[in-house]
Amino acid sequence: MNDQVSISLISAVSGIVIAYIVNVAAKKVQQNRNKSQPKDRMEQMFDGYERLIKQKDVEDDRKVKTMKNLEQELTLTRQTVLRLEKALSDTQAELAESREENKELRALLHKMREEYKNVKEN
Protein backbone atom coordinates (compact mmCIF):
# COMPACT_ATOMS: atom_id res chain seq x y z
CA MET A 1 0.00 0.00 0.00
CA ASN A 2 2.85 2.35 0.66
CA ASP A 3 4.03 1.83 -2.88
CA GLN A 4 0.61 2.64 -4.25
CA VAL A 5 0.37 5.83 -2.15
CA SER A 6 3.87 6.87 -3.25
CA ILE A 7 2.99 6.23 -6.89
CA SER A 8 -0.23 8.24 -6.48
CA LEU A 9 1.61 11.14 -4.87
CA ILE A 10 4.32 11.14 -7.53
CA SER A 11 1.66 11.02 -10.24
CA ALA A 12 -0.27 13.89 -8.66
CA VAL A 13 2.83 16.05 -8.23
CA SER A 14 3.99 15.21 -11.75
CA GLY A 15 0.57 16.16 -13.12
CA ILE A 16 0.65 19.49 -11.32
CA VAL A 17 4.20 20.24 -12.54
CA ILE A 18 3.31 19.28 -16.12
CA ALA A 19 0.15 21.42 -15.97
CA TYR A 20 2.19 24.39 -14.72
CA ILE A 21 4.83 23.95 -17.44
CA VAL A 22 2.16 23.67 -20.13
CA ASN A 23 0.42 26.80 -18.79
CA VAL A 24 3.66 28.84 -18.75
CA ALA A 25 4.63 27.61 -22.21
CA ALA A 26 1.17 28.45 -23.55
CA LYS A 27 1.45 32.01 -22.22
CA LYS A 28 4.89 32.46 -23.86
CA VAL A 29 3.56 31.12 -27.15
CA GLN A 30 0.59 33.49 -26.95
CA GLN A 31 2.89 36.46 -26.24
CA ASN A 32 5.12 35.54 -29.17
CA ARG A 33 2.07 35.27 -31.44
CA ASN A 34 0.87 38.69 -30.29
CA LYS A 35 4.30 40.16 -31.00
CA SER A 36 4.62 38.55 -34.40
CA GLN A 37 1.08 39.38 -35.50
CA PRO A 38 0.91 42.66 -37.39
CA LYS A 39 -0.97 45.41 -35.65
CA ASP A 40 -4.20 46.54 -37.15
CA ARG A 41 -4.36 49.90 -38.89
CA MET A 42 -5.89 51.73 -35.97
CA GLU A 43 -3.13 50.55 -33.61
CA GLN A 44 -0.53 51.62 -36.17
CA MET A 45 -2.22 55.01 -36.46
CA PHE A 46 -2.28 55.41 -32.69
CA ASP A 47 1.41 54.49 -32.49
CA GLY A 48 2.18 56.99 -35.24
CA TYR A 49 0.32 59.75 -33.39
CA GLU A 50 2.13 58.86 -30.19
CA ARG A 51 5.50 59.17 -31.96
CA LEU A 52 4.45 62.53 -33.40
CA ILE A 53 3.40 63.78 -29.97
CA LYS A 54 6.75 62.70 -28.51
CA GLN A 55 8.56 64.54 -31.32
CA LYS A 56 6.48 67.64 -30.60
CA ASP A 57 7.36 67.38 -26.91
CA VAL A 58 11.05 67.26 -27.80
CA GLU A 59 10.60 70.25 -30.11
CA ASP A 60 8.67 72.13 -27.43
CA ASP A 61 11.47 71.50 -24.92
CA ARG A 62 13.97 72.84 -27.46
CA LYS A 63 11.79 75.92 -27.98
CA VAL A 64 11.63 76.53 -24.22
CA LYS A 65 15.44 76.43 -24.01
CA THR A 66 15.71 78.77 -26.98
CA MET A 67 13.20 81.17 -25.41
CA LYS A 68 15.13 81.22 -22.14
CA ASN A 69 18.36 81.99 -24.00
CA LEU A 70 16.64 84.74 -25.99
CA GLU A 71 15.15 86.23 -22.82
CA GLN A 72 18.62 86.33 -21.24
CA GLU A 73 20.08 87.98 -24.32
CA LEU A 74 17.20 90.46 -24.41
CA THR A 75 17.75 91.35 -20.76
CA LEU A 76 21.44 91.92 -21.38
CA THR A 77 20.65 94.00 -24.47
CA ARG A 78 18.15 96.12 -22.51
CA GLN A 79 20.75 96.73 -19.82
CA THR A 80 23.27 97.72 -22.47
CA VAL A 81 20.76 100.06 -24.11
CA LEU A 82 20.00 101.68 -20.73
CA ARG A 83 23.74 102.17 -20.09
CA LEU A 84 24.22 103.64 -23.54
CA GLU A 85 21.22 105.96 -23.15
CA LYS A 86 22.61 107.20 -19.84
CA ALA A 87 26.05 107.69 -21.35
CA LEU A 88 24.48 109.58 -24.28
CA SER A 89 22.46 111.75 -21.93
CA ASP A 90 25.52 112.52 -19.82
CA THR A 91 27.56 113.34 -22.92
CA GLN A 92 24.79 115.59 -24.26
CA ALA A 93 24.68 117.43 -20.92
CA GLU A 94 28.47 117.82 -20.95
CA LEU A 95 28.35 119.08 -24.54
CA ALA A 96 25.67 121.65 -23.68
CA GLU A 97 27.72 122.83 -20.69
CA SER A 98 30.90 122.99 -22.78
CA ARG A 99 29.16 125.01 -25.51
CA GLU A 100 27.82 127.42 -22.92
CA GLU A 101 31.32 127.82 -21.46
CA ASN A 102 32.75 128.38 -24.97
CA LYS A 103 30.10 131.01 -25.65
CA GLU A 104 31.00 132.80 -22.42
CA LEU A 105 34.73 132.55 -23.22
CA ARG A 106 34.17 133.98 -26.72
CA ALA A 107 32.18 136.84 -25.26
CA LEU A 108 34.94 137.48 -22.70
CA LEU A 109 37.61 137.30 -25.42
CA HIS A 110 35.66 139.71 -27.59
CA LYS A 111 35.28 142.09 -24.64
CA MET A 112 39.00 141.86 -23.85
CA ARG A 113 39.91 142.62 -27.49
CA GLU A 114 37.63 145.63 -27.47
CA GLU A 115 39.19 146.87 -24.26
CA TYR A 116 42.69 146.29 -25.67
CA LYS A 117 41.80 148.23 -28.84
CA ASN A 118 40.45 151.06 -26.72
CA VAL A 119 43.58 151.10 -24.54
CA LYS A 120 45.88 150.92 -27.59
CA GLU A 121 44.07 153.76 -29.35
CA ASN A 122 44.24 156.00 -26.29
Domain boundaries, the chain: 46-122
**More confident of the two residues 90 and 24:** 90
Residues 11-65: tens digit of each pLDDT: 777 788 888 888 888 888 777 776 666 668 888 899 999 999 999 999 999 999 9
Q: Is 1's pLDDT higher than 60?
A: no
What lies within 8 Å, CB to CB, of 47 at 6+ separation is 39
What is the value of pTM for the model shown?
Answer: 0.47
Rounded to 5 degrees, φ, ψ at 38 are: -65, 145
Q: What's the pLDDT at 29? A: 77
CA torsion 54-55-60-62 (nearest 10°) is 120
C-alpha to C-alpha distances, 28 to 22, 32, 38, 102, nearest whole angstrom: 10, 6, 17, 100
Percent of the chain beyond pLDDT 70? 90
